[in-house]
A and B are shown apart, each in its own frame.
Chain A
Amino acid sequence: MKCKLNERNVEVERGTRAGTVANIHCPGADLIILNGCPVPPETLLSEGDALVCIRRGVAPTPEELDILLAARHTPGVHEKLKKAVVGIAGCGGLGSNVALALARVGIGRLVLADFDLVEPSNLNRQQYYIDQLGMPKVEALKSTIARINPVVRIDVWGEKLVPATVASVFAGVDVLVEAFDRADQKAMLVEAAMKAFPDKPLVLGSGMAGWGGNDRLHTRISGNMTVCGDETSEAIPGRGLMAPRVGIVAHMQANRVMEILLGPDEGLGPELVTGRFDETC
């Protein structure tokens, strides 16, 4: 029967175990991932299975990396995401987190826009490091992404976005993520994007200051526009922006981008009805 080992077709006999195939094709492998999930070596293989074998502690070649990196993805996801282009307007608390999440799932190309430099007050929620202080955010983020997934292509725009440049910089993206801090900039982006490309999916973040209140964070979809956040908690004097809540909203945005690109995940488990935990587990 036909199976895939590290994305290459292999012919295996029925009744073959995962560990046997790993030993033949990938000696020394100590981590076997079957269809996105780690399995013990004695697991029996079925027709069409996708197997990834990894030697822990050994640096892969760039060709191997693309396959190994996606080993825990749901099968089929990686191929689709590799073809996608996502624009991120603003590389602060939202944008830097969205960019890294999408880089980790292997988005084909990211278009990053931000005119700012990394400074110390960014480090409480943004994906930058001490040794990047003073660097343009887009350059710092580009170098961090290269350390995670060098296969992702990165385009950067290091000037302040205005309506005309929104229209040109993001013309080729499949989905645009609004990731600004200031409300007037968010409005500028939405207005410019809706005029330049009214049909392009747009994912906004609005309302994420403070802490706690997990259950108030939501996703609202209206036509091609999605808003993530609580839509009420503004960053004002006395109510700051901190890593957990901003990071949650950023990952809600990245998660929604995946949903737009891939369609709904039919493989999600059943929705849990609070108070009836025993019946669903």
Chain B
Amino acid sequence: MLKVNGEPLKYTKDMTVSDVIRAKKFSFPLLIVKIDGVYIARETYDVTPVPDGSTLDIIHLISGG
């Protein structure tokens, strides 16, 4: 089981960051992803494995300021 933005998400074998984003149906184009507080570079989402039991924070960057 994973924890994504405070909510549980079922872990599947060999899950990557991209798989988590798809599973959560996140549609915002600009995301910041942290696994257990560690920043994950955007270009590595497809190949970065998400360990079972980890906590992900996915932050949407949206215009306005």
- What is the size, in residues, of chain A's interface with B at 8 Å between Cβ atoms? 39
Residues in A whose Cβ lies below 8 Å from that of B60: 206-207, 231-232
Residues in A whose Cβ lies below 8 Å from that of B62: 183, 206-207, 231-235
Residues in B whose Cβ lies below 8 Å from that of A241: 64-65
Residues in A whose Cβ lies below 8 Å from that of B41: 191, 194-195
Do A186 and B39 touch across chains, with their CB atoms under 8 A apart?
no
A92 lies within 8 A of chain B by Cβ: yes
Instruction: Give Cα A246 to B64, complex, Å.
Output: 8
A93 lies within 8 A of chain B by Cβ: yes
Contact with B along A214-254 (1 / 0, CB 8 A): 00000010111101010111111000010000100000000
Do A235 and B63 touch across chains, with their CB atoms under 8 A apart?
yes
Residues 21-57 of B at the A interface (beta carbon under 8 Å)? 29-30, 32, 34, 37-39, 41-42, 57
Residues in B whose Cβ lies below 8 Å from that of A227: 59
Residue of A whose beta carbon sits closest to that of B57: A222
Do A231 and B59 touch across chains, with their CB atoms under 8 A apart?
yes
Known: A198-B39, A225-B39. A183 touches B34 (CB 8 A): no
Do B64 and A234 touch across chains, with their CB atoms under 8 A apart?
yes
A243 to B: closest C-beta gap in Å: 13
Known: A220-B57, A227-B59. A207 touches B37 (CB 8 A): no
Contact with B along A100-112 (1 / 0, CB 8 A): 0000000000000
Contact of A181 among B38, B39, B57, B65 (CB under 8 A): B65
Do B63 and A225 touch across chains, with their CB atoms under 8 A apart?
no
Do A190 and B64 touch across chains, with their CB atoms under 8 A apart?
no
A19 lies within 8 A of chain B by Cβ: no
A162 lies within 8 A of chain B by Cβ: no
Do B30 and A209 touch across chains, with their CB atoms under 8 A apart?
no
A49 to B: closest C-beta gap in Å: 42
A182 lies within 8 A of chain B by Cβ: yes
Residues in A whose Cβ lies below 8 Å from that of B37: 222-224
Instruction: Give Cα A223 to B34, complex, Å.
Output: 8
Contact of A225 among B29, B59, B65 (CB under 8 A): B59
27 residue pairs of the A-B complex, CB under 8 angstroms, read A93-B65, A179-B65, A181-B63, A181-B65, A182-B63, A183-B61, A184-B30, A186-B30, A186-B61, A191-B42, A195-B41, A204-B32, A204-B59, A205-B64, A206-B59, A207-B62, A207-B64, A223-B38, A225-B32, A229-B64, A231-B59, A232-B62, A233-B64, A235-B63, A235-B64, A236-B63, A246-B64
Known: A207-B60, A234-B62. 13 other contacts (CB 8 A): A181-B65, A186-B65, A190-B61, A191-B42, A205-B64, A206-B60, A206-B61, A220-B57, A220-B59, A222-B57, A232-B60, A235-B63, A236-B63
